[in-house]
Chain A
């Protein structure tokens, strides 16, 4: 299969000179789910902003055969959707329907079509009947799903999702994972940023690990990566700590949301 995303030697420095990304290179195949894991502040979100052309670093980004530059960026944004971590950033319109139809209307689709895709997007995230609700009055889980709908309504082939499950309760998390499964089965290419190892294990085809030096240190099949204890430990994705089992105290690694046996 063709590579739908190619990134080579991408570097980004913030205006004050701190490094945001260093030598990032990777490729993603069409229809693949790539989960990007890494501790806080390792540049995962910065990578997404670079891919969408909101931040401009040095290096080469190629998306669906288009090199990312000023001329192509609109075309790229039509085919690739970005979900922000905070749904309050994503939902900026007075009502949910305004938000969901914002993208399609900007693309210049005709109103009937916009209505149809908005309804479909809301249905996919299980929020039918929320059209005229005010975003502020939604629960966090609903906000998060409404935010996903705002991206889906544009029907992008690639989705960049920044922490889709963070801050959600267990039921909302599993709802969210179901939505992601659906998208995956539709053949969408998903890039998901998370530090939730459980989510990575559930949905990833391949995993890209970001280190605290703001660069990717490993990419590979999800089993391979998740079973590489040293790698995960070194990159702060699991940690060693003291643990008590009745009278015996010993030290072993700890993975959140990960049941371990002794």
Chain B
């Protein structure tokens, strides 16, 4: 028996990818005017999170890194979007009109992307990246794409380390120079990094070829799609249907025999 607080972690990565994709799909196609729906999506995401062992702190830490980016992109929309002016921001001599349409678009972007980010954060906290890649591969995502992601995951830190060493080597011998000089040095560094990466790629390819690489990326773990995965996907799809169709708002009026369903619950 799996502990109830680790259900999401123990699921097959495929079922997580499928069901989370469904949620995001429904989320982004919901018209922004149905504000209540987004509350329900939020509850659904919370319900998923409660089935895993991740803590609120972990989630918030990651979410707060990402959301400001969205916010800064969206914050200018109300001023740019044309339509009925509802208010104007005055800074000294200038006047910036804000439109109703702009505010709706702003809400649209912020609400949808925040919820999607929240879901993605939960997904990344409950799935190890290698497992996620294997899930994608088993879902027939093009092999080249999966391989590309896998190599990026493996070598991004190696590359960053290399870049860090270059920057350190530069700053140790850097005593201030004109701007143009600095750009030249940055150019050199980017060039050196590129050549090193290129050469490393050749060596890695050599290492792959001598171990029999012929275009396929074989992998060992075979996940099993158990009844729990099936139930999880089913549960998500049913709750999405309820939200999308609006049935959920009528639950209180349902009758079983002479009783309101709401009262029997």
Do B130 and A98 touch (CB < 8 A)? yes
Do A106 and B214 touch (CB < 8 A)? yes
In the bound complex, residues from chain A placing their C-beta under 8 Å from that of B58 are: none
| Distance between B137 CB and nearest chain A CB, rounded to angstroms | 11
| Distance between B138 CB and nearest chain A CB, rounded to angstroms | 14
Contact with B along A68-112 (1 / 0, CB 8 A): 000000100110011010101111111101100111011100010
Contact with B along A186-202 (1 / 0, CB 8 A): 00000000000000000
In the bound complex, residues from chain B placing their C-beta under 8 Å from that of A107 are: 212
Whether a CB of chain B sits under 8 angstroms from the CB of A154 is: yes
In the bound complex, residues from chain B placing their C-beta under 8 Å from that of A33 are: none
Q: Secondary structure at chain B's binding surface: helix, strand, loop or mixed?
A: helix
Whether a CB of chain A sits under 8 angstroms from the CB of B207 is: yes
Do B210 and A52 touch (CB < 8 A)? yes
**Which of these, B130, B158, B208, contacts A95 with CB under 8 Å?**
B130
Whether a CB of chain B sits under 8 angstroms from the CB of A25 is: no
Contact with A along B216-259 (1 / 0, CB 8 A): 10111110000000000000000000000000000000000000
Whether a CB of chain A sits under 8 angstroms from the CB of B206 is: yes
| Distance between A169 CB and nearest chain B CB, rounded to angstroms | 19
The total of chain A residues at the interface (CB under 8 A) is: 37
Within 8 A of B (CB), among A36-88: 49, 52, 54, 74, 77-78, 81-82, 84, 86, 88
Closest to B128 in A: A132
In the bound complex, residues from chain B placing their C-beta under 8 Å from that of A74 are: 212
Closest to A105 in B: B218
Q: Secondary structure at chain A's binding surface: helix, strand, loop or mixed?
A: helix
A103 to B217, CA, bound (A): 10
A154-B203 contact, Cβ under 8 Å, with A102-B218, A105-B219: no
In the bound complex, residues from chain A placing their C-beta under 8 Å from that of B130 are: 94-95, 98, 132, 134
The total of chain B residues at the interface (CB under 8 A) is: 29
In the bound complex, residues from chain A placing their C-beta under 8 Å from that of B203 are: 84, 86, 89
Do A111 and B212 touch (CB < 8 A)? no
A89-B200 contact, Cβ under 8 Å, with A49-B206, A54-B206, A94-B154: yes
Do A136 and B211 touch (CB < 8 A)? no
Do B208 and A92 touch (CB < 8 A)? yes
Whether a CB of chain B sits under 8 angstroms from the CB of A172 is: no
In the bound complex, residues from chain A placing their C-beta under 8 Å from that of B218 are: 101-102, 105-106
A136-B151 contact, Cβ under 8 Å, with A89-B200, A94-B133: no
Do A114 and B220 touch (CB < 8 A)? yes
Q: Which of B158, B211, B216 has the most CB of A within 10 A?
A: B211
Closest to B129 in A: A94
Do B154 and A136 touch (CB < 8 A)? yes
Within 8 A of A (CB), among B136-155: 150-151, 153-155
A74 to B212, CA, bound (A): 7
A35 to B155, CA, bound (A): 32
In the bound complex, residues from chain B placing their C-beta under 8 Å from that of A132 are: 128, 130
**Which of these, B207, B212, B221, contacts A92 with CB under 8 Å?**
B207
Do A154 and B211 touch (CB < 8 A)? yes
| Distance between B214 CB and nearest chain A CB, rounded to angstroms | 7
Do B219 and A89 touch (CB < 8 A)? no
Whether a CB of chain B sits under 8 angstroms from the CB of A165 is: no
Whether a CB of chain A sits under 8 angstroms from the CB of B213 is: yes
What are 8 A-B contacts with C-beta separation under 8 Å? A52-B206, A84-B206, A93-B150, A98-B130, A98-B220, A101-B218, A101-B219, A103-B211
Chain A contacts to B: CB under 8 angstroms: 49, 52, 54, 74, 77-78, 81-82, 84, 86, 88-95, 97-98, 101-103, 105-107, 111, 114-115, 118, 132, 134-136, 150-151, 154
Closest 9 CB pairs of A and B: A106-B212, A105-B218, A94-B130, A103-B211, A89-B203, A54-B206, A101-B220, A82-B210, A52-B210
